[in-house]
Structure 1
Amino acid sequence: MCGITGIFNISGAQPVQPETLKSMADAINHRGPDDSSYIVHGDLGLGFKRLSIIDLAHGQQPFYSEDQSVVMICNGEIYNYKELRKELVAKGYTFKTNCDVEVIVHLYADQGIRFIDKLNGQFAFCLYDSKARALFLARDHFGICPLFYTVVNNSVVFASEIKAILKHPAVRREVNLTALDQIFSFPGIVSPTTFFKGVENLKAGHFLKVQDGVISKHEYWDLDYPQEANHAEVKNDEYYIEQLEELLLQSVKYRLNADVPVGFYLSGGLDSSLVGALMKKVNPDFQYKSFSIGYPSREDADLDERKYQRMMATHLNSLHTEIEFDWANVADRLKDAIYYSEGALKESYNTCSLALSETVRKHDVKVILSGEGSDEFFGGYVGYRFDAQGRIKPDEKSIDDMLEDELREKLWGDPNFFYESNYHEFRNTTQALYSQGVNKAFPSFGCLDRLEINRERLNGRHSFHKRSYLDLKLRLSDHLISDHADRVNYANSVEGRYPFLDIAVIDFVRTIPPQVKIKGLVEKYILKQLAKKFLPLEISNRQKFAWVAPGSNQLLKNKTEWVHDMLSPERIKRQGYFNSETIERLKQKYQKDNFKLNLPYDSDILMVVLTFNIFLEVFDMPDYNG
């Protein structure tokens, strides 16, 4: 619902400069163009940009406790606020507005920071207790709402987006090479890492506390699957279908609560179609607006899902809008995509999402529902099926096989668990891409040696649950719903909501046995059984179709001038991050007539190089001189 930013001097000796605070907030005006506010109380400054969603007339922040000792700003939504508000009113607390996030200050006054365990929502908030002189920053369970911070000149500087932090005069711009290594190696970068050295992304399910000169981080929630030996007895399908239907319907009801128009994205796949169908179930007489994207070009025909999108729009009787996209549209929007994502990308579909959110806002819709989160918890990716089939093990292991096993043991605690890539082999690829200077520094930044994953959440778990946990940490939280969904929606002042990412839904889903989620090698089996109650069989029985967009090879083959300039040997050498000869060989390979990337299974290496170079330019980052 907004963008937040702030400055807190840890020692109390340095007052906040109002002009700095305003400059920071103005940098994220796109997150909240409806209203703004700023407060400065000596060593604390808070800036707020509002996107009005609930209680349009009275929901301005910050909110204060009744004795004015606690102040709070929040980006996001608290979906169970009506239930929480009822409990607080019964205890004697009074409310000044009908805004959902006002419950936070009263919950804190009533219960202290552990109140966060009671929240069902998507949120990133800052709360300051003047009596205890304690500052709290918190991020929701799944990391839907991003929250970045750094410490400079004995001050904590934080914001919903890094571009606001960069407005602080003491913040230096320096590339974090660990982030670059992560984007090559994993689906996305992983909290607390960002592309800016010294700026951290608060981890999902965590809060940060600043008190008495000490900064401490605390985990309040993590996905905790049962030990494989403790799996519950498998119940019949109807039990899981009924429970899922009830919980997902409640989740959708929560996310339809708004005082502005609500719509939904429609990809033509199972997840977004089911979300649309549940919206229709909740409000059968209302005609929602739906939005989709298609690829009309012959060379992109295998990416096009408009047949299924139109089928679902008709089935749901939605007011449907579709936009068309091709490589030229990718080229036109790629720099904007990097500006909003604040780092390099592995693929170009953020450009499509920017076009979608722009279209949504043009149709006067402020809130959009979509299907993110289903694949990671119900087994929607091909890796889950491969795990269920059982992977073929070599009769005799080579030295490389043994080194790979050793690395998997280090990363996942299991030498036999394959996730995404053979990392020992791929590390050789990435180091071939880096310049000589960067490779000299590799031991200090290589991401495989400093990955912050709690292996205790993997030990003793079924392979399905290991993969699901890693997908949440390495794919979903900081990439698909934060850098991708949050950032590209808010770029056009649209709030995204995700019914599958409801804490009550996930608390139940974590108890569903793996053999119910994948049965007979059918991905998302139990979700598909539920979907058959709401969707045409052509949709509910569809195999997973990954959403991708035209890649770097098409930009190169179509002679996009600025792309060739970004990847020119002269620029590569000057910037100093990559080996210009390696990049040139890749360019020649990508431009061959018979070359085609099998997205998303192939890594579009040049897309990472290209978008990283765009990142350097857009954010005026320094060349590498190490």
Structure 2
Amino acid sequence: MPGIFGFICKQGGDRGANEVLIRKMGELQAHTRGYETQTYAESWCGLGLIGLPVPGEERFAVDQNRGLAAAFGGFIYGFQKLSDDLMQPTTRKATRILDIYANDAVSMPEKLNGSYNAVVIDLRNRRMTIANDRLGHWQLYFFEDNDRLLFAGEVKALLAYERFSRELDPEGVYAYLNYQVHLGDTTFFKGVKRLPWAHQIVVDNGQVRINPWWEWRFETETSQTIPELVEEGHKLYQENIRLQTHGAKHVAIPLSGGLDSRMVLAHATAAGLEPETFSHGPKRSLEMRFATRVAKAAGIKHHRIIEIDPAWSYEYAERFTWLTDGLVNINPCVLLGVTERYGLPPADTAFLNGLAGRTAFGYGYFNASDISRTLTREQKLDRLRRSLVGQYVDDNYYRMFHPDIRPKLKERYDAAIEADFAQYEKVSDLFCHQRDLFTLQNRLKRRFDQIDVNRFILHDHFALEDDRTLDFYIKLPPALKAYPIRTLLIEGLKQKFPHLAAVPQQHSGVDLYSQPSKWRTMLKGYGRRVAYYTERLSFGLVNIRDMDTYVHYNQWYRTNRKLREFIDGILLDPRTLNRGYFDPAGVRSMLAYQKRGGNTFDELAMLVSFELFHRQFIDRWS
């Protein structure tokens, strides 16, 4: 996604050639007319920044007097652990990074508070330092060979390098086909890695070092009461909402029927802002009805529902693949259609996105039963599989793949999860912390961050989140963070925003002062089973949409001829089948099952995504 990019040559080079390379890297990331690009090149390095301008803010600086250059992508909300003069707010943020680096190059990353990737080049000593924040929401990829190290927020920028091999990494391929997501720092390409959270890359005298500058620790739990924590969180959120919207002429909030976006809206209005809210989905769906009620209770003057057109699921598929580097399923491509219909001036709008969730709102990716030190290895592995939404993987699923690929996929399914999980076992002896970090990395960062296409079009902030809210999250006792209890989120709404707590939420159907009905939950589950079997027994002639959700891919496939032709046309294309990944008979069987009332569109879309990746990132550059 937009941000910093560049390279450093290990043994020198040609300035003219480097200027061409840095320009081409930028061109591959130029997705909208509103982007601005700044570049700088020497005979041994290149540095670039691309994206929407932040009015009045310096994000790229070259200081020839000090022999330093700096740039950052994402957002820096402030500075910390510095002398008073360097703590003062400034619009010249790139220059401030140079000041911090000049004083203490080693600890520079920990002095920046925000969600960012930053780079500093020491022009005199030919040294480069690249760092990201503690959660690493803004992805940064890097590639190294014997001649240079290249980096960018989008893998496609690396294709500008003529010696980039485009050789696929089997581990990355197997992970994607098994979980629809890449684990850890892997990508499809061999040699291309994603920078882990809170890491820095230092290139000095041709040597590359990659090390963490901060590590997770759950050593001290707070003894504060719930009211005290609610008050502390409230103050942090109020400060952050002001930092994230500073200077913006428009504030936009995507509003669902749930609680995360409701909390964002509550703090925006409490801060005196007049946000515009948007919800997307069928107007008569339960989520849209509750979202509209929340907007009305908050006194929102401009609330708009954007109805999703099923045609978007194929009209935006190829562009979505290109933007996201083909690293995720194309299903969320409909969000491009939503984003393009906000009708807001991109550079002047602060988009407060609750998608990052959880760590900002005080609850984790685990439930109460995970707060344990005695789970067996198999029990842990089973819960990690569910964290990846991988429970659909069975023999029927593997029949879609070529017989030569099946045993490799099965062999790597548990082995890859265990290998990645090992690093989190060292952080804490409680499984809840281990599962939380594993899921933050592999579900939030590698899936949700990747599908967040708002970042290509708007100034997209992870609402309410910064270093201080992360510290706040870490100190909370696990019992308060367990899902779906979400103690602090719910108590915060009840104590500070009772008018919004009184509106039912989509998940339970009741307000926060009432207990959800077990009968309602049972009836919803029963209704879904009845709908599924009705569609199956009618061989797909009857299609029942679940109005609790805003997308109905399985039904769209059966009722929208063009979508069906798009999916079938790609998967049955000889070019696709001749790659050797998919089994023709297995693919035809899955397509027939889907036509007859099945619910496997997600798996089929994953195969389509994989093929579109090949066409855009392999075939196109061969």
Q: Do these two structures clear the TM 0.5 threshold for a shared fold by scoring above it?
A: yes
Mapping of residues 402-551 of structure 1, within 5 Å: 419-420=386-387, 426=393, 431-439=398-406, 448-449=415-416, 451-453=419-421, 455-457=423-425, 460-481=428-449, 483-485=450-452, 488-492=453-457, 494-518=458-482, 522-532=484-494, 533-534=496-497, 535-539=499-503, 543=507, 549-551=551-553
Mapping of residues 183-222 of structure 1, within 5 Å: 183-186=176-179, 188-222=181-215
Mapping of residues 21-40 of structure 1, within 5 Å: 21-30=22-31, 33-40=34-41
Provide the TM-score with structure 1 as the length reference. 0.81
The Cα offsets for residues 458-479 of structure 1, whole Å up to 9 and x where unpaired, read as 5644343233212211111232
Q: Which residue of 2 aligns with 1:619?
A: 617
Q: Confirm or deny that 1:329 pairs with 2:277.
A: no
Relative to structure 1, is the Cα distance of residues 190 and 252 closer, same or farther in structure 2, using a 3 angstrom cutoff?
A: farther
Identity of aligned residues (%): 19
Relative to structure 1, is the Cα distance of residues 565 and 526 closer, same or farther in structure 2, using a 3 angstrom cutoff?
A: same
Separation (CA, whole Å) in 1 of partners of 2:18 and 2:66: 22
1:422 CA drift (Å): 10
Q: State the secondary structure of the residue aligned to 1:215.
A: strand
Separation (CA, whole Å) in 2 of partners of 1:139 and 1:547: 35
Q: Confirm or deny that 1:555 pairs with 2:538.
A: no
Relative to structure 1, is the Cα distance of residues 260 and 28 closer, same or farther in structure 2, using a 3 angstrom cutoff?
A: farther
1:443 CA drift (Å): 9.5
Q: State the secondary structure of the residue aligned to 2:110.
A: helix
Relative to structure 1, is the Cα distance of residues 548 and 131 closer, same or farther in structure 2, using a 3 angstrom cutoff?
A: farther
Q: Confirm or deny that 1:293 pairs with 2:280.
A: yes
The Cα offsets for residues 135-193 of structure 1, whole Å up to 9 and x where unpaired, read as 11212211221211212451112212112211222213233332333234447323421
Separation (CA, whole Å) in 2 of partners of 1:334 and 1:85: 49
Mapping of residues 103-502 of structure 1, within 5 Å: 103-152=96-145, 154-186=147-179, 188-226=181-219, 231-233=221-223, 235-283=224-272, 286-296=273-283, 305-318=287-300, 319-346=302-329, 348-349=331-332, 351-360=333-342, 362=344, 365-375=348-358, 384=367, 387=370, 419-420=386-387, 426=393, 431-439=398-406, 448-449=415-416, 451-453=419-421, 455-457=423-425, 460-481=428-449, 483-485=450-452, 488-492=453-457, 494-502=458-466
1:572 CA drift (Å): 3.9
Q: Which residue of 2 aligns with 1:398?
A: none
Aligned residues: 576
The Cα offsets for residues 400-446 of structure 1, whole Å up to 9 and x where unpaired, read as xxxxx65667x7xxx88774379899476665443234357669976
1:558 CA drift (Å): 2.9
Q: State the secondary structure of the residue aligned to 1:280.
A: helix
Q: State the secondary structure of the residue aligned to 1:327.
A: coil
1:293 CA drift (Å): 0.7
Separation (CA, whole Å) in 2 of partners of 1:259 and 1:340: 25
One-letter code aligned to 2:456: A
Relative to structure 1, is the Cα distance of residues 100 and 257 closer, same or farther in structure 2, using a 3 angstrom cutoff?
A: farther
Q: State the secondary structure of the residue aligned to 2:107.
A: helix
The Cα offsets for residues 483-541 of structure 1, whole Å up to 9 and x where unpaired, read as 122xx12332x1211134321112111111122234xx852122111012225235475
Unaligned runs of 5+ in 2: 510-547
Relative to structure 1, is the Cα distance of residues 25 and 425 closer, same or farther in structure 2, using a 3 angstrom cutoff?
A: closer
Q: State the secondary structure of the residue aligned to 1:477.
A: helix
Separation (CA, whole Å) in 1 of partners of 2:397 and 2:173: 10
Separation (CA, whole Å) in 2 of partners of 1:151 and 1:310: 50
Q: State the secondary structure of the residue aligned to 2:358.
A: helix
The Cα offsets for residues 81-106 of structure 1, whole Å up to 9 and x where unpaired, read as 4996953289xxxx9x7233432111
Q: Which residue of 2 aligns with 1:587?
A: 591
1:329 CA drift (Å): 2.0
The worse-fitting range, judged by mean Cα deviation, of 43-52 and 333-342 is: 43-52
The worse-fitting range, judged by mean Cα deviation, of 253-262 and 377-386 is: 377-386
Relative to structure 1, is the Cα distance of residues 380 and 563 closer, same or farther in structure 2, using a 3 angstrom cutoff?
A: farther
Q: Which residue of 2 aligns with 1:64?
A: 62
Separation (CA, whole Å) in 1 of partners of 2:143 and 2:317: 27
Separation (CA, whole Å) in 1 of partners of 2:297 and 2:451: 28
Separation (CA, whole Å) in 1 of partners of 2:549 and 2:440: 18
CA RMSD of aligned residues (A): 3.7
Unaligned runs of 5+ in 1: 394-404, 598-602
Mapping of residues 591-610 of structure 1, within 5 Å: 591-593=595-597, 595-596=598-599, 604-610=602-608
Relative to structure 1, is the Cα distance of residues 421 and 471 closer, same or farther in structure 2, using a 3 angstrom cutoff?
A: closer
One-letter code aligned to 2:324: S
Relative to structure 1, is the Cα distance of residues 327 and 585 closer, same or farther in structure 2, using a 3 angstrom cutoff?
A: same
Separation (CA, whole Å) in 2 of partners of 1:623 and 1:166: 8
Separation (CA, whole Å) in 2 of partners of 1:287 and 1:40: 43
Separation (CA, whole Å) in 1 of partners of 2:80 and 2:228: 29
Separation (CA, whole Å) in 2 of partners of 1:558 and 1:121: 43
Q: State the secondary structure of the residue aligned to 1:150.
A: strand
1:557 CA drift (Å): 5.2
Separation (CA, whole Å) in 2 of partners of 1:417 and 1:202: 22
Q: State the secondary structure of the residue aligned to 1:124.
A: strand
Q: Which residue of 2 aligns with 1:12?
A: 12
One-letter code aligned to 2:48: G
Relative to structure 1, is the Cα distance of residues 250 and 122 closer, same or farther in structure 2, using a 3 angstrom cutoff?
A: same
One-letter code aligned to 1:222: E
Relative to structure 1, is the Cα distance of residues 85 and 443 closer, same or farther in structure 2, using a 3 angstrom cutoff?
A: farther
Q: State the secondary structure of the residue aligned to 1:619.
A: helix
Residue 249 of structure 1 contacts residue 282 of structure 1 at CA under 8 Å; is this kept in 2?
yes
Relative to structure 1, is the Cα distance of residues 180 and 19 closer, same or farther in structure 2, using a 3 angstrom cutoff?
A: same
The Cα offsets for residues 57-77 of structure 1, whole Å up to 9 and x where unpaired, read as xx2x53135733211121122
Q: State the secondary structure of the residue aligned to 2:476.
A: coil
One-letter code aligned to 1:467: R
Q: State the secondary structure of the residue aligned to 1:510.
A: helix
Relative to structure 1, is the Cα distance of residues 148 and 460 closer, same or farther in structure 2, using a 3 angstrom cutoff?
A: closer
1:264 CA drift (Å): 1.7
One-letter code aligned to 1:146: Q
1:361 CA drift (Å): 5.0
Residue 257 of structure 2 contacts residue 288 of structure 2 at CA under 8 Å; is this kept in 1?
yes
Provide the TM-score with structure 2 as the length reference. 0.82
Separation (CA, whole Å) in 2 of partners of 1:245 and 1:123: 24
Separation (CA, whole Å) in 1 of partners of 2:571 and 2:241: 45
Residue 275 of structure 1 contacts residue 369 of structure 1 at CA under 8 Å; is this kept in 2?
yes
The Cα offsets for residues 30-60 of structure 1, whole Å up to 9 and x where unpaired, read as 378343222211111122224221415xx2x
